[in-house]
Amino acid sequence: MNAEAPRLPRQVGAHKRQQSQSHKFSTAYDWYKSQFFKIFDYAITGLQSRVTGKCIPVLVATESVLSAGWNGDSINSDDLSQISKHYGDEIDTFRLEQQLCCLQNMRKQIPEADKNIPVSKIIEHIGTNHLNVSLLTEYFF
């Protein structure tokens, strides 16, 4: 490709008042290797902070509540309080419990639904349900 071979960038030494020596790379390969690992460390740190963030427990609680409503199981009050804490005044916990009871009725209308359906399929069935959703939202919201 007629490209030039990689060269080391200009390396600046430590300030004269400092007693330590700054690290100087001997080859361009060593410099690029250190840059690669620095970027790689930033990426890993960014991913870890996003995955272990505050919203993971809320997502787990939401999944648990949706699955319990779909299967007709009792809803864990700790999960509801976790969701309520996260959303604050934007959600009415009492109405949410009532709406989750409707999920079990939707499940009865779908012959292929079983107890181990993934949450993504539950959400898909809610979106494609032929019930009058506007009537439900007027009643519950």
Confidence of residue 110 (pLDDT cuts 50, 70, 90): low
Confidence of residue 129 (pLDDT cuts 50, 70, 90): low
3-class DSSP string for 67-96: HHHHHCCCCCHHHHHHHHHHHHHHCCHHHH
What is the mean predicted confidence (pLDDT) over 28-47?
90
Q: Is 6 helix (H, G, I), strand (E, B) or coil?
A: coil
What is the mean predicted confidence (pLDDT) over 109-121?
65
Report CA 131 to chain centroid distance, whole Å: 30
